[in-house]
Every structure is written in C-alpha cells, then in structure tokens.
Amino acid sequence: MAQMPGRTIFAPVSKEDPKHGRWILPLVVLALVLFTWTFVNNLPAAETPLATTTEAVDRTTTTAPPEETTTTTSLAPEIIAFAATLDELAAEAEGLQSTAQQINDEYPDTTGYGDTRDALSDLRVATSEFNDRVGALSEDNADSDLPEAAEEQWSDVITAAATMQLEADNMFDGLVNTSGSEKRLTALADYNIAAATFVQKLAEVKEAVMTPEETP
C-alpha cells in the first residue's frame, strides 16, 4: 500500500512584522489618556474649607487708674475749726513733753544749775498758758458743741492738761527747793504720762466730733 505524502498542519509563519499592528497599542494608550483628562476636567470643583484664623489674644492686663471721688462733708464750719484747734493743741503738748525731757536729760552733765533752773521756769510758764487755753476752749464748747460721745474724753483732756501744769511746778520745785533728784525725775515721769494721755484723749474727741451723729 503506497504511503501518502505527509500533510502540513501549520502554515508557515511570516517573518515580516505587519506595519499596521504597531500603532494599535499607542492609540489605545492615547485614548485612555484623553479619556482620563476629559473626565478629570469635568469633575465639579472641590469645596475648599475656610481657613481657620487664630487671632492673637492680647493678654496684657491693664489696671485702670482709680477713679477720683469727691467727698463732701456735712460738718459745720465751727466743727471743722474746732478739730483744727485740737490738732494744734496735740502738737503743742508733744512739744512741751519733748522740752521737759530734754531739760532733765541735760542736767547736770550738759547744762548747769542756773540754765536748768531758768529752763524749768520757762517750762512752768508755757505749761500754765497751755492749760489756760485748754480751759478756755472747754468753756467755749461747754454748752452743746461737743457730742455726747466725746464728753467723757474731753473731761480726761482737761484733767491731763491740769496735771501737766502741776508736774511742771513739781519739776521746778524738785530742782530749786528739794535736795536730790527724786522729786524732779518723778515729776518728769508724771508730766510725760499726762502729755501722752492728753494727746490720746484729744484724738478720741476729734474722732467723735468729726463723725456725724445719726438721726433717727
């Protein structure tokens, strides 16, 4: 039996590259790029959130100057004048006390007998005149000028002024007519106490007269 010649199953492949196929892929890529660009441009614009601004807070603490206040007083002119007189008397009492202390401190080491005697004599006169002025002021205000709350303190003021005069006399007598220094120095101590009491009680009287009484 004669053998049939063999059949070729696959056709021979052409070794030549078809020129029309090399542009397919670039065209596809270009189409995709164009589609993407068109799609993106047609998207709605995204909403931009408002920028958050932080304002700087001024933390400087400013203290306002105190407001000026005008104080009006309802005190009578004679009360104001009386209070001014009390201030003058207090200053005079302190001056007399300082003088008495200095006179006794300087004797006998610094100041001799004669000068100390004259100084204590002058102190007696000055203290006597001072007591007289306090007494005259008491008579001028004895009727109704002093408020009831100050009556007791004013009585102490009068007593203290009189005590100052008494002890000024005792200091002089202790130097001139008494041996030793005990009486003179004891009188000085009592003079100082009386002067301090005078100033303290005078301040209490002033506070009372300067405080308006409440009316029911």
CA 104 – CA 111 distance, rounded (Å): 9
CA 109 – CA 171 distance, rounded (Å): 17
Share of the chain above pLDDT 70, in %: 62
Length of the chain: 216
pLDDT at position 9 over 50: no
Interacting residues of 171 by C-beta distance below 8 A, sequence separation 6+ = 100, 103, 104, 120, 123, 124, 184, 187, 188, 191
pLDDT-derived band of residue 38, with 50, 70 and 90 as boundaries? confident
Q: How far is CA 51 from CA 44, 47, 54, 56, 158, in A?
A: 21, 12, 10, 15, 84
Q: Residue 79: count other Cβ atoms within 10 Å of its Cβ.
A: 17
Using one digit for the tens of pLDDT, what is the confidence trace for 47-106? 555 444 444 445 555 566 666 655 555 788 988 988 999 999 999 999 999 999 999 999
Give the per-residue pLDDT at 131.
98
Per the CB < 8 A criterion, the answer to whether 72 and 80 are in contact is: no
Average pLDDT of the chain is: 80
Nearest Cα to 80, choosing from 145, 26, 30? 145
Using one digit for the tens of pLDDT, what is the confidence trace for 164-192? 999 999 999 999 999 999 999 999 999 99
The answer to pTM > 0.85 is no
The structure tokens listed for 181 are 């220094």
